């Protein structure tokens, strides 16, 4: 669908060898300077970047452009329910970092900045890809994820989603403890240093043990989760410039952990175990034992984060905030791209207000994209990526 004033980008295929599209650069800059009158007139700036693109195939964002571009990319993220606070995104300009060691220490700083007191939304933006040049990337899908294993007897340990990635990092010499919540090492790949593995220090990893306000036995399950969800492998694209390494985080909504990570059958699969501990009748679906266990697990997650003083929101509050975001954006005259199947929470959909309407599925830039090769590195490591030696 075409929205006046926006260029439509139905399919994003990134050619890392192509020079920056001057039309897309201009589109972004006009919008950026219109939304931020304090930046002054855009025309002189357009003349500069046109010359830069003609001479080098790309151009360099000012810190203000980078900051606003990243915030716009969040604003345009159709799968994110948490966009009300898009203006508050804290942007760390890390474009000068080159070596794997530098990048690693800045990623540690990112996690510390994000998780210090309250959780705050942070993005670290590393060097853009220059047309035709190799670029730095992180293989991990998130800065913090738990390893997944299968024991000799075939029992699942840890997060099955990360099982193949775990096998890949073990092939590089990493040794996991083989426990349920082993934080995976970062795999940082740079043109300067090749592929390097780094273990995150404890100070960068905040975790919350999960207990239940009424069921004392709940802690015996030994569940826990990390405080900061930090997506590490999506490419940020702003005004035709591509930033393949631009990890970002928000705070968790409880259902991401309680109604997916800890409950999906192909993740930690805790629903049958919790139902058994609750003494529910699991012989018939119609007792709704799954639903009852799911609710208690989600109560436990919200309760535990609150007890630990770690910011988290519930799906009712976050749904209401999203509707507020929709009305703010409508007032500003901007369309809000949104994907119903991602916006509606994975439990109690119909009792949240976001359920009862449809959304526009637009592909607006600036944006975050998950490239196929990035997805496959995060799933399976090198083996999964056909385009690599």
Cβ 160 to ligand ARG shortest distance, Å: 14
Please report how close the Cβ of residue 202 comes to ligand ARG at its closest, in angstroms.
20
Residues touching ligand ARG, count (CB under 6 A): 8
Instruction: Output the smallest distance, CB 261 to ligand ARG, in A.
Output: 5
Rounded Cα gap, residues 360 and 1, in angstroms: 9
91 to 130, contacts with ligand ARG by CB under 6 A?
none
251 among known catalytic residues: yes
| Catalytic one of 45, 80, 120, 318 | 80
Residues with Cβ < 8 Å from 18, sequence gap 6 or more? Answer: 131
Which one from 74, 139, 251, 289 is the annotated catalytic residue? 251
Q: Given the residues 31, 83, 94, 163, select the one marked as catalytic.
A: 83
The span from the CA of 84 to the CA of 357, in Å, is: 18
Measuring CA to CA, how many Å separate 90 from each of 22, 113, 121?
28, 9, 6
Determine the Cα–Cα distance for residues 281 and 285; give it in Å rounded to an integer.
9
Which C-beta is closer to ligand ARG: that of 136 or that of 143? 143
CB nearer to ligand ARG: give 58 or 249.
249
Contact in structure between 145 and 162 (CB atoms under 8 Å) = yes
Choice between 25 and 138, CB closer to ligand ARG: 138
Half-sphere exposure of 130 (CA within 13 A, CB side): 12
Cβ(297)–Cβ(278) below 8 Å: no
80 has catalytic annotation: yes
Minimum distance between the CB of residue 77 and ligand ARG, rounded to whole angstroms?
A: 10
Of all residues in the shown chain, the one whose CB is closest to ligand ARG is: 250
Residue 56: Cβ within 10 Å count: 13
- DSSP code of 384? G
In the numeric block, the tokens 């606070």 are attached to: 85
Query: Closest approach of Cβ 121 to ligand ARG, in Å?
Result: 8
Nearest distance from residue 109's CB to ligand ARG, in Å? 19
Catalytic residue among 65, 141, 189, 256: 256
Name which of 240 and 250 has its Cβ closer to ligand ARG. 250
Smallest distance from ligand ARG to CB 249, Å: 6
Q: Show the site string, 216-235: x = touches ligand ARG by CB under 6 A, - = not.
A: -------------x-x----
Which CB atom, from 264 or from 363, has the smaller least distance to ligand ARG? 264
Check if 32 is active-site. Answer: no
Q: List beta partners, residue 321.
A: none
337: contact with ligand ARG by CB under 6 A:
no
Asked if the bond preceding 216 is cis, omega within 30° of 0, the reply is no
Nearer to ligand ARG, 29 or 354 (CB): 354
Among this protein's residues, is 306 annotated catalytic? no
Q: How far apart (Å, rounded) are the C-alpha atoms in residues 314 and 298? A: 9
Q: Give the separation between CA 111 and CA 228, rounded to whole angstroms.
A: 8
Tell me the CA end-to-end span of the chain in Å, nearest whole number: 39
Residue pair 341/293 in contact by the 8 Å Cβ criterion: no
- According to CB under 6 A, which residues from 238 to 277 bind ligand ARG? 250, 252-253, 256, 261
Query: DSSP strand E in the chain: where?
Result: 90-94, 122-126, 137-138, 148-150, 156-158, 186-190, 194-198, 207-209, 224-226, 230-231, 235-238, 241-243, 248-249, 252-253, 312-313, 367-369
Chain residues that interact with ligand ARG, rule: CB under 6 A: 82, 229, 231, 250, 252-253, 256, 261
**Residues carrying an active site annotation:** 80, 83, 251, 256
């Amino acid at each position: 669908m075409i929205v006046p004033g926006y260029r439509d980008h139905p399919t994003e295929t990134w050619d890392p060898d192509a020079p920056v599209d001057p039309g897309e650069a201009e589109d972004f800059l006009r919008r950026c300077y219109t939304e931020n009158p304090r930046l002054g007139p855009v025309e002189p700036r357009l003349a500069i970047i046109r010359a830069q693109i003609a001479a080098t195939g790309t151009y360099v964002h000012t810190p203000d452009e980078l900051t606003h571009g990243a915030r716009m990319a969040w604003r345009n993220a159709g799968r994110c329910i948490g966009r009300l606070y898009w203006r508050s995104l804290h942007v760390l300009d890390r474009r000068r970092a080159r070596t794997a060691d530098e990048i690693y220490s800045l990623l540690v700083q990112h996690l510390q900045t994000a998780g210090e007191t309250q959780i705050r939304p942070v993005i670290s933006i590393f060097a853009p890809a220059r047309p035709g040049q190799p670029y730095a990337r992180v293989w991990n899908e998130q800065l913090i994820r738990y390893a997944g294993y299968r024991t000799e007897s075939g029992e699942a340990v840890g997060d099955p989603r990360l099982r193949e990635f775990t096998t890949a990092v073990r092939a590089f010499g990493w040794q996991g403890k083989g426990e349920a919540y082993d934080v995976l090492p970062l795999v940082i790949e740079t043109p300067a240093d090749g592929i390097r593995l780094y273990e995150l220090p404890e100070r960068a990893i905040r975790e919350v043990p999960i207990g239940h306000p009424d069921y004392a036995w709940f802690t015996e399950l030994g569940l826990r989760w990390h405080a900061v969800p930090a997506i590490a492998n999506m490419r940020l694209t702003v005004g035709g410039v591509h930033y393949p390494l631009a990890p970002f985080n928000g705070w968790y909504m409880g259902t991401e952990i309680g109604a997916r990570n800890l409950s999906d059958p192909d993740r930690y699969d805790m629903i049958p175990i919790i139902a058994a501990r609750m003494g529910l009748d699991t012989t018939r679906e119609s007792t709704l034992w799954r639903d009852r266990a799911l609710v208690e697990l989600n109560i436990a997650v919200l309760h535990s984060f609150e007890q630990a003083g770690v910011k988290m929101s519930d799906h009712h509050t976050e749904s209401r905030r999203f509707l507020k975001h929709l009305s703010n954006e409508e007032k500003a005259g901007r369309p809000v791209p949104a994907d119903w199947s991602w916006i509606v929470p994975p439990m109690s959909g119909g009792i949240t207000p976001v359920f009862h309407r449809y959304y526009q599925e637009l592909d607006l830039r600036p944006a975050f994209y998950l490239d196929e090769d990035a997805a496959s590195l995060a799933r399976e490591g090198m083996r999964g990526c056909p385009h690599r030696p």
